[in-house]
């Protein structure tokens, strides 16, 4: 018999991740929060633990397969009997001409935006299949669909994760696991702090708007799924 609702949120200390954790806690989800920054993660877990909601902080570098397996094993230990949901929000972005970008930065973006989320899916799927199902939300970007100069590594990784999500859905949907690719437009988060030229902040989506979309997907009745969802600022691509 499955326990209460449980969401595993990677990249939980980022702008959208933090808002998603708060939104899901308000909706009564128990939480497993994963990210690198231990102190920030523990503060967020404490903030989200109220009114019967339990929140577990699991710090670690999720670009490492061993860290992903450890995070899921810890979640399963603390929340036995649950049918989990996974929200893949981990990521990294560096923008600039591909030819001038250090190869290490390219590898880091592929690891954070593609390999890490794939590793988490690989680690959590046995749990989902044994418990009779679950939901996976891969949070991507419009860069997964549109060629954007200066975002070659970022866009390629997000596009790869998008196609991975589609294929994974075909493999597991008849086994009760529902996979959604969410493509937000420009969102005002700390990611933009290091970018020289950017859209006007007031024209962007808020992190809360994206978090509410994620929560809406996780709140859907079991008799339906959303394969892909785009959420955009009113002015469109900025």
Residues in the chain: 238
Residue 99 falls in the annotated catalytic set: no
What's the sign of the alpha-carbon dihedral 156, 158, 162, 165? positive
Burial (CB count <10 Å: 0-12, 13-18, 19+), residue 173: middle
Taking the C-alpha atoms of residue 48 and residue 53, their distance in angstroms, rounded to an integer, is 7
Catalytic residue among 154, 185, 191, 210: 154
User: 188-219 in b/e burial notation, b at 16+ Cβ within 10 A?
Assistant: bbebbeeeeeebeeeebbbbbbbbebbbebbe
Catalytic amino acids?
Answer: 154
């Amino acid at each position: 018999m499955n326990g209460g609702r449980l969401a595993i949120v990677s990249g939980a200390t980022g702008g959208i991740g933090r808002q998603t954790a708060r939104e899901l806690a308000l909706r009564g989800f128990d939480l497993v929060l994963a990210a690198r920054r231990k102190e920030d993660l523990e503060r967020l877990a404490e903030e989200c633990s109220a009114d019967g909601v339990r929140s577990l902080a699991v710090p670690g570098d999720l670009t490492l397969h061993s860290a992903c397996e450890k995070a899921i094993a810890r979640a399963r230990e603390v929340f036995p009997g649950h049918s989990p949901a996974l929200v893949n929000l981990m990521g990294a972005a560096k923008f600039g001409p591909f030819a001038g970008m250090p190869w290490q930065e390219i590898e880091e973006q592929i690891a954070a935006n593609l390999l890490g989320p794939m590793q988490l899916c690989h680690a959590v799927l046995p749990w989902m299949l044994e418990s009779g199902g679950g939901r996976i939300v891969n949070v991507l970007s419009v860069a997964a669909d549109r060629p954007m100069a200066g975002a070659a590594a970022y866009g390629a990784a997000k596009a790869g994760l998008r196609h991975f999500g589609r294929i994974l859905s075909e493999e597991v949907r008849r086994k009760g696991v529902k996979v959604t690719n969410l493509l937000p437009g420009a969102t005002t988060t700390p990611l933009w702090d290091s970018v020289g030229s950017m859209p006007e902040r007031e024209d962007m989506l808020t992190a809360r708007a994206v978090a509410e979309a994620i929560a809406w997907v996780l709140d859907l009745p079991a008799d339906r799924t959303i394969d892909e969802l785009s959420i955009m600022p009113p002015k469109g691509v900025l």
